[in-house]
Amino acid sequence: MPEVAIAAPATIEAFGYRNINVSATGRRMQANPDNRRNAPPLALIAMATGIGFCALHMIVPALPVLARVFDSAGAQVQLVLTLYFLGIAGGQLIYGPVSDRFGRRPVLIAGLGLFLCGTVLCGAAPSLPVLIAGRVAQALGACAGIVLGRAIIRDVYGRDASARGIAIVMMAMTLGSAVSPAIGAWVTEWFGWRAIFVLLAVAGAAVLGWTVTRLAETRAEPLPLNPAEIARAYALLLRSRAFMCFALCTAFTSASWFTFIASAPYLLSDLLHEPPTTYGLLILLPMGGYIVGNGAAVRLARRMGASAMIIAGVALSLASGIVMAAWCAYPGLSALALFLPLTVSAVGNGLSQPSALAGGLSVYPRIAGTASGFVGFQQMAVSSLGTLAVGLLPRGGPFAMIAVVVGTQVLALVMGAVAVRLPISLGGPGASMPVEAASRRPA
């Protein structure tokens, strides 16, 4: 999965929950009526949310170039991605509670300002450590848009309009992530790697300026920032086997994807002697596969049930990883041997990720906001470990990468198989049932 998955409304309903509107601290809230007077343009929310993922994907084709420019080992250059993941992971635990206390507008503006400063630092970086420091600042700033975009939509729209707004924003994010590698590859080939950060700085400045002039505060009433209550919510989730299995299923699935995109540019450049634009074009195939899988998940959610889609999706991804290993072993490494199996894997990711996320949020629906941020944290944290592992392994062929990809897919299947058999909380005292039963619960 390219991004942190958002469960489609049909998928959530497959678990038997509708119109859940809860606070991050666990207090039940009334459903918000439409309040469109302060509603910002959805295009602004999409840009603020998507710019972080564009910055993530746009630099990937340039990784082999960075290794040559800074005369550094692949494992060191890999930190450009690994620490970016960690920055996004950490930010997801912070921005939600902070914006509940101080408001969406000032926190988003501060985050976008930090993103712009980090981007400028990256573009002017005289050394790899400075570039990595700039990437950390980029990630911490970009995470504000990722977290607050959905919160702003929930603030100003009712249930039906909110679902539509989130769907539009997620579609724009996916399309932006799909074309970003091609743009990064073309810019690197014709203008050099620093031009990527010039382009991102221009985009970041435009989004920041639009936010300052157009975004009104959407948070109706500030909430107290209670670290003890937040810590108790995280402790509750950590103790839940069902939540942790669902969360780790999505995290290992994400890790298989990000491990591949961290390694593929090196394989194409160093072993197949392809230019950066080859990666930029071929990555469109799995991006399209993920969109196909998401579309199938929306259509099949009620017919198959969420549990069946989780198992089918992760099993399909694992089968594609095994095919990739066999294809690279015989007849040998090629661009198609890498990207065609990954496209099938992306279809499986599109099937499983929304359902697994919906399952995780259904464990304790009264703290669904906190759970959502914690799932996103685990996705990015485990993905960073995957990219770090593949950076430390030998780069003489594709099998180090394939070993990590297949290993994370196996773990995703194990976690998913366990998760769908564990009871989940239905929000009432002692009310729980297995996920397989919950997925068939009448609406």
Pick the last residue of a domain from 170, 203, 225: 225
Same domain, 98 and 161: yes
Mean pLDDT of 411-419: 95
Beta bridge partners of 425: 432
- Label residue 282 by pLDDT band (50, 70, 90): very high
Ranges assigned E (strand) in 233-391: none
113: enclosing H helix or E strand? helix 104-123
CA distances from 366 to 142, 154, 219 (A): 27, 16, 19
Residue 330, token pair as written in the block: 């015989």
CA distances from 43 to 5, 155, 169, 212 (A): 20, 16, 8, 15
Same domain, 176 and 37: yes
Q: Is residue 104 part of a domain?
A: yes
Q: Is residue 231 part of a domain?
A: no
Higher pLDDT, 35 or 253: 253
pLDDT in tens, 106-131: 999 999 999 999 999 999 999 999 99
Q: Which residues contact 209 (CB under 8 A, 6 or more apart)?
A: none
Same domain, 202 and 250: no
Same domain, 263 and 369: yes
CA distances from 425 to 13, 19, 365 (A): 15, 17, 8
pLDDT in tens, 345-368: 999 998 888 888 778 877 887 776
Same domain, 249 and 354: yes
N- to C-terminal Cα distance for the chain? Answer: 29
Residue 368, token pair as written in the block: 């669904």
Residue 24 predicted with pLDDT over 50: no
Q: Is residue 20 part of a domain?
A: no
Domain of 211, in residue numbers: 26-225
Higher pLDDT, 32 or 347: 347
Mean pLDDT of 291-313: 84
Q: Is residue 343 part of a domain?
A: yes
Q: What is the DSSP string of 249-316?
A: HHHHHHHHHHHHHHHHHHIIIIIS---HHHHHHHTHHHHHHHHHHHHHHHHHHHHH-HHHHHHHHHHH
Q: Is residue 230 part of a domain?
A: no
Number of domains in the chain: 2
The 3-state DSSP class for residue 4 equals coil
Q: Give the Cα separation of 45 and 148 in Å (integer).
A: 9
